[in-house]
Structure 1
Amino acid sequence: MKKLVLLVVALGMFSISQAQEFDLGVKAGVNFSQLRDAGDVDNRTGVLAGAFVGVKFNKWAIQPEILYSQQGGDSDFGDYHVDYVNIPVMFKYYLIGDFLNLQVGPQFGFVANDDFPEFNAIGDQVESKDFDMSAAVGAGLDLPFGLRVDARYNFGFTDVVENADAKNGVFSLALGYSFL
């Protein structure tokens, strides 16, 4: 275990020494989420907000983030709201200079709050799973004066609740500001 930690620290230090630019900032935006594979559940519009750190190497960059994200769906039987603390780790490739980039990476979600309808006939309260694994793809613009614009889609791999085929699908639009 000590060797693994030492290897990770050494790789991190090497990456930092090779980096051309650092990025640190905040972002906020809107989510348009759905519970894929769940019948009769409409989209939910929610907010996302958080912070990001980026390290850029020529045309490539890695950008971990921490985001509060409102997700879920709405139906005639009640609203299925699940709020997450998401940690996406985005790998970015710059197509046009330092301006237009494509993004892809894993996202790890931890439930911060869930609010599901109570089913009196069943006598059970539905609860969400504590963890959500997703993949994110998108595009971004790095604008002058530290402004950032991102558009992404997150494909959920895990079911939101036990014994139900309902996975997160979230389209996000966000505006960010880089301090560096």
Structure 2
Amino acid sequence: MKKLIFSIVFLTVGWATSQAQTFNLGIKAGVNLAKINADFASEENRLGYQIGAWARIGGASFYVQPEAYIGSKGNKFISFTNNSNTEIAAEGKVKFTTLDVPVLLGTKFGSKNLNVRVMAGPVLSLILDDSSTFSSAYQQATDFDNYKNQAFGIQAGAGVDVGAISVDLRYEAGLTNISKSEKYKQTPNLFQLSLGFKIL
């Protein structure tokens, strides 16, 4: 499924590049509110950041926007359901530093200097570093705090361009289990708000 999605996206990028009337390059920074969904634990959102660059290739309305940015995201677990199916209060904290590479397909409405955009597409997250602290209650969960080095998801959202300034609001849904445990599935999800500046 992942290979099919990326194949379609890269074919679309190739087509858009060959048909491109405009090419823009910019930088971006922002914040995210992330959470790891797990059916055996209760969790809370954690605030993170992102900083990186984007390119936009396309015509008057349709465009492709690949990006690359360093981000911080994580989660706070507040309770855990043990092997006796009893929920107990137990804290656990996880923090990731990631290199995120989304490839978004979008359309825009309005003029060159003032327009509204909608976009969606896949995102690959490479985990550069992770740190975690868990109470002893989580020790019975094999590989619970042992994480994979990459995750795959999909982003969707909207944005506004005012001159060289852009503002984007997106939701990212995780499509893969980032835990190495097959029993205790963990899927990251987040909202992100970013401010961008077009330099080309």
Q: TM-score range by the shorter chain?
A: 0.7 to 0.9
Aligned to 2:156: 137
Q: If the length of structure 2 is used for normalisation, what is the TM-score?
A: 0.77
Whether the 8 Å CA contact 1:110–1:131 is kept in 2: the answer is: yes
Correspondence for 1:28: 29
**Are positions 1:81 and 2:95 aligned together?**
yes
2:68 counterpart (59, 66, 69) = 66
Shift of 1:97: 3.7
Aligned counterparts of 1:96 and 1:15: Cα–Cα separation in 2:
20
Structure 1 residues 82-102: Cα deviation after superposition (integer angstroms, max 9, x where no partner): 221010001111133441010
Indicate conservation of the 8 Å contact 2:105/2:120, yes or no: yes
Residue 50 of structure 1 aligns with an amino acid whose one-letter code is G
Aligned to 2:197: 177
Matches within 5 A, 1:1-180: 12=14, 15-38=16-39, 39-76=41-78, 77-98=91-112, 99-118=115-134, 122=139, 126-144=145-163, 146-163=164-181, 164-180=184-200
**What is the identity percentage for the equivalent residue pairs of Structure 1 and Structure 2?**
26
Aligned residues: 170
- Contact map agreement 2:101 2:123 (CA 8 A) in 1: yes
C-alpha distance in structure 2 between counterparts of 1:95 and 1:37, whole Å: 38
RMSD: 2.3
Query: Does the CA-based 8 Å contact 1:82-1:128 persist in structure 2?
Result: no
The residue matched to 1:41 in structure 2 has which SS? Answer: strand
Distance in 2 (CA, whole Å) between partners of 1:90 and 1:40 is 31
Mapped contact 1:114–1:127 kept (Cα < 8 A): no
Counterpart amino acid of residue 162 in structure 1 = K
SS at match of 2:42: coil
* Structure 1: 5+ residue stretches without partners: 1-7
Q: Scaled by the length of structure 1, what TM-score is found?
A: 0.85
Q: Which runs of 4+ in 1 moved over 6 A?
A: none
* Equivalent-residue separation in structure 1 for 2:100 and 2:30 (angstroms): 14
Determine the structure 1 residue equivalent to 2:81.
none
Unaligned runs of 5+ in 2: 1-9, 79-90
Give SS of 2:147's match: coil
Preserved CA contact (<8 Å) 2:93 2:134? no
